[in-house]
Amino acid sequence: MKKQSLSVPTRGRTLDHAAFVYDFFEPILLLGKQAAYDQQIVSLLNLEESDRVLDLGCGTGVLTRMIADQLKTEAGGVSVGIDAAAKMIRVAGKKRGSDTCRSEVVAAESLPF
């Protein structure tokens, strides 16, 4: 799929404006429990190396990457984060992109997956 560099419309609000401060403020807003919550989600997913996971509204891709780290490209595993806010996806790609971690500008209302 072609990567988009512009945000796409949704029925609600997106967080383009927060992209560059999100990684700093989110742990504070969640009283330092963000990592523990994300770990719990990863553990509940009970992932296998070949899983293909879609993270809707991935923001800067913290959880997308934690999931991706449990997967193996050779096994076909991939974690894809989508967000309608292009600036979020830019941060996600730059900071957290890897062989098993991709991110794309997509609205949850019109999933191409």
Ligand X SMILES: C[S@@+](CC[C@H](N)C(=O)[O-])C[C@H]1O[C@@H](n2cnc3c(N)ncnc32)[C@H](O)[C@@H]1O
Q: Which residues bind ligand X (CB under 6 A)?
A: 10, 12, 14-15, 26, 57-59, 62-63, 83-85, 88, 107-109
Using the minimum distance from each CB to ligand X, give the nearer residue, 51 or 83.
83
103: nearest Cα among 63, 48, 76: 63
Using the minimum distance from each CB to ligand X, give the nearer residue, 78 or 91.
91
Q: How far is the CB of 8 from ligand X (least distance, A)?
A: 8
Q: Write out the two tokens for 104.
A: 């794309």
Non-local CB neighbours of 110 within 8 Å, separated by 6+ positions: 8
Q: How far is the CB of 72 from ligand X (least distance, A)?
A: 23
Q: How far is the CB of 75 from ligand X (least distance, A)?
A: 25
Q: Using an 8 Å Cβ cutoff, are 62 and 34 in contact? A: yes
Backbone angles phi, psi at 46, to 5 degrees: 50, 55
Using the minimum distance from each CB to ligand X, give the nearer residue, 51 or 104.
104
